[in-house]
A = this chain, B = another copy of it.
Amino acid sequence: MRLLSRLAPVALCAATLFNPAFAAEDTAADEQMLRAIYTAALTSSPAYGHLRELTTKYPGRLSGSKNLEGAVLWGEAVLQATGAGRTELQLVMVPHWERGAPESVRYFTKQFVGIVPLKAVALGGSVPTPAGGLTAPVVELQTLDALKTTDVKGKIVFFNRPMDPAAVVPGPAYGGAGDQRSKGPAEAVKYGAVGVLVRSLTHARDDFPHTGNTSYPPDGPRIPAAALSTVAADNLSAALKLDPALTVEMKINSRWLEDAPSHNVIGELKGSASPEKIIVIGGHLDSWDIAPGAHDDGTGIVQSIEVLRLLKAVGYQPRHTIRVVLFTNEENGLRGGAAYSTAAKARNEIHVLAIETDTGGFQPRGFNLGNPAGDAHLKAARWLKLFEPYGIYYFQKGSGGADVGPLLAHGTTVAGLQPDSQRYFDIHHTVEDSLDKVNKRELELGAAAMASLVYLVDQHGL
């Protein structure tokens, strides 16, 4: 493309949605405020620098790790430096699983004199293999249902159903293949399997394995489980076609420890008119141990803090209390979100809105919204025209996200920032979820979108 005049995308669609029932709102003032928020975000944001600091000093922030608690103290300090009038560390006991020495997965086949390594990572929560490793033949399955009709006794089950490539939005494809990882090991063991390998949950075809949580029933038997990179999964599948009797050796050195203390980090600006009513913005501080945790969810952390900064930077005095919550233990327990909502209920706190940002720091496109009446997204639609110049195109029904979801059950209106997601699952839960995948301006635009929604709800209600 060369130098031509460029068009700003003035969408047709939002313009048609203006609802005269809300005409009393001062649109010109709102337009001005959004413009000020976006300008502040794009010209003076420390968010990208914060993300560099978080992912450099505290990568691999898994529950129970020193790095997560380092990030907790870092988060509180940044909130204070950003001007939070009150900060609080809310104690949460979190699961403590450790990977231990790096895992290995390799196979032995009559087709080849050597041994063939496969890029793999243990699933979060996996039990270790016996010392010396686990060696067994392999059976490849596409579904958990196939366990019912396949002899897997004494074998390693290899779940190899890809995420649906035809899904335009990757999220549902991730959900559609996710049972293999989350429930595969617990199901396979019921049928006598001795281990599980699972194809990484991604549309990308590369050699980076994706970890993630797997769950076992509290008192049932447990077998070791690892994710293969998609290239490794394709390779193993091809090798099995040539030699169905090949064996795989898995070595996993993980261990479970006692629950560990961690903290939700809270920082707030007191409301000027209704300080007892709270608007929450949050993401999660923890990340998988192998990941720098840039998009998942370092971007959500620095965007949430940036919302607070932006409101101050534009000189806005919020009517409600604006509270940033850096949740702990989203990845393998959800204890932070649960503890926060339990405490909020115990304290009889009134939450007007809780916005979560935990789907990557890519260019924001909309919000999901949920409330008990199920009409929050329809009410918010009156603001589509205001958001139009900023590329926010939709409000859809949803439940916010994993950490604010519990507040919805308590009657709170929740929201979730929805960025572009095509690149998210390429790096999700891998060593590749690093700072270089984050675009500074896309990150800032997400913070500005949330600050704008906070402002509108603070002014006009939802």
Contact = CB atoms under 8 A, between A and B. Distances in A.
Interface string A266-284: 0000000000000000000
Most buried by B among A4, A174, A334, A358: A4
B168 A38 contact: yes
A207 to B, nearest CB: 15
B396 A212 contact: no
A291 to B, nearest CB: 12
B396 A422 contact: no
Given A8-B171, A13-B13, A16-B16, 11 more contacts: A2-B331, A3-B213, A6-B169, A7-B368, A8-B169, A9-B365, A11-B366, A12-B395, A38-B168, A168-B390, A168-B445
Query: Closest 5 CB pairs between A and B?
Result: A6-B171, A13-B13, A11-B394, A393-B393, A39-B166
A213 B1 CA distance: 11
Interface stretch (A133-141, A175-183, A230-238, A256-264): A175-183
Contact of A1 (B4, B297, B423, B439): B297
Given A11-B396, A13-B17, A1 B296 contact: yes
Nearest to A384: B13
A32 interface: no
B422 A175 contact: no
Interface string A390-434: 110111111001100000000000000010101110101000000
A381 B12 contact: yes
A149 interface: no
A52 interface: no
A458 interface: no
A1 B358 contact: yes
A389 interface: yes
B2 A175 contact: no
Contact of A43 (B13, B42, B165, B397): B165
Contacts of A363: 420, 422
Contacts of A401: 1, 4
Contacts of A166: 38-39, 42-43
Contact of A8 (B10, B172, B213, B390): B172
Nearest to A182: B3
A290 interface: no
Contacts of A93: none
B422 A3 contact: no
Contact of A212 (B2, B16, B297, B391): B2
Nearest to A391: B168
B402 A4 contact: yes
Contacts of A402: 1-2, 4
B12 A178 contact: no
26 contacts: A2-B213, A2-B330, A3-B175, A3-B178, A4-B401, A4-B402, A5-B175, A6-B169, A7-B368, A8-B168, A8-B169, A8-B171, A9-B169, A9-B394, A12-B17, A12-B378, A12-B396, A13-B17, A42-B165, A42-B167, A168-B390, A168-B391, A169-B391, A203-B441, A422-B439, A423-B439
Nearest to A420: B363
A4 B366 CA distance: 18
A181 to B, nearest CB: 7
Most buried by B among A165, A296, A368: A165
Contact of A396 (B7, B203, B296, B396): B7
Given A42-B165, A165-B42, A358-B1, A6 B394 contact: no
Contact of A3 (B39, B174, B418): B174
